[in-house]
Chain A
Amino acid sequence: DAGVTQSPTHLIKTRGQQVTLRCSPKSGHDTVSWYQQALGQGPQFIFQYYEEEERQRGNFPDRFSGHQFPNYSSELNVNALLLGDSALYLCASSFVRRLRTDTQYFGPGTRLTVL
């Protein structure tokens, strides 16, 4: 049973560029959440996707956008990269139909470095 997978593992970009990160959820899961984890800090919620729509958003600017596909996989897009966007980006999947007691399972993350 494959867990949550993310690609790429590492990414180096320059300021002003755009980046796309990808996530495939755990088998049987239908919901994907994205988090940003800066060095030495806890994760910060970016947004959650369910049924191909953004269901909830954290306190992140519009430069951060996402998409969920019919197969439940998801993309995180970040435009106009800033140095402060350097972080580990984590994807988590869950099975929302278990009401709200669903547990979020995390992928290994994508390490984004902005120069």
Chain B
Amino acid sequence: AQSVAQPEDQVNVAEGNPLTVKCTYSVSGNPYLFWYVQYPNRGLQFLLKYITGDNLVKGSYGFEAEFNKSQTSFHLKKPSALVSDSALYFCAVRDRGNYQLIWGAGTKLIIKP
């Protein structure tokens, strides 16, 4: 069965420090991988995606993610966190033979000044 795991319910980072939000997946074949962010009482906002090619994907607002096929991971990273990055982050995956996105449970990112 396809699944996505975000092992940390919450990540706390000081402003200016690098941040990492972890995601691992279980999908057959070569999946499409996505990161979205959700602010309170808002919908999901697309950050970045991995389709093929370079394992390091750059996205919106200075975020990037590294695809690691052997570890089936797609961790979200940012070199220097901002207080405004505080939000709920979701990892999602889609099997190339499928149309639906499978989602992790989300990680709450808190950036402290």
Residues of A within 8 A of B (CB): 4, 33, 35, 40-45, 48, 55-56, 58, 90, 92, 100-101, 103-109
Known A41-B106, A42-B90, A103-B34; judge A48-B46 contact (CB<8 A). no
Q: Which residues between 1 and 54 of chain B lie within 8 Å of chain A, taking CB atoms?
A: 4, 32, 34, 36, 42-46, 49, 51
Q: List 29 A-B contacts (CB under 8 A).
A: A33-B99, A33-B100, A33-B101, A41-B105, A41-B106, A42-B4, A42-B90, A42-B103, A43-B44, A44-B103, A45-B100, A48-B100, A56-B98, A58-B100, A90-B44, A92-B44, A100-B94, A100-B96, A103-B46, A103-B49, A104-B101, A105-B46, A106-B44, A106-B45, A106-B46, A107-B43, A108-B42, A108-B43, A109-B42
Q: B101 contacts A45, CB within 8 Å?
A: yes
User: In the bound complex, what is the Cα–Cα distance between A67 and B51 (angstroms)?
Assistant: 30
Distance between Cα atoms of A40 and B44 in the complex (Å) = 14
Q: What's the Cα separation between A56 and B44 when bound, in Å? A: 21
Shortest beta-carbon contacts, A-B, top 7: A42-B103, A45-B100, A106-B43, A106-B44, A108-B43, A56-B99, A101-B51
Partner of A55, one of B36, B46, B94, B99: B99
Tell me the minimal C-beta distance from B22 to chain A in angstroms: 15
| Interchain nearest-CB distance for A18 vs B (Å) | 24
For the complex, would chain A's binding face be called helix, strand, loop or mixed by DSSP majority? loop
Q: Are A48 and B32 in contact (CB under 8 A)?
A: no
> Chain B: which residue is nearest A94 at the CB level?
B99
Question: Contacts A90-B44, A100-B32, A106-B44 given: A48-B99 contact, CB under 8 Å?
Answer: yes
List B contacts of A33 (CB < 8 A). 99-101
B contact residues around A107 at 8 Å (CB): 43
- Shortest CB-to-CB span from B12 to chain A, Å, is 18
User: What is the CA–CA distance of A102 and B90 in the complex, to the nearest angstrom?
Assistant: 18
Residues of A close to B32: CB separation below 8 A? 100-101
> Assuming A90-B43, A106-B45, is B103 touching A43 (CB within 8 A)?
yes
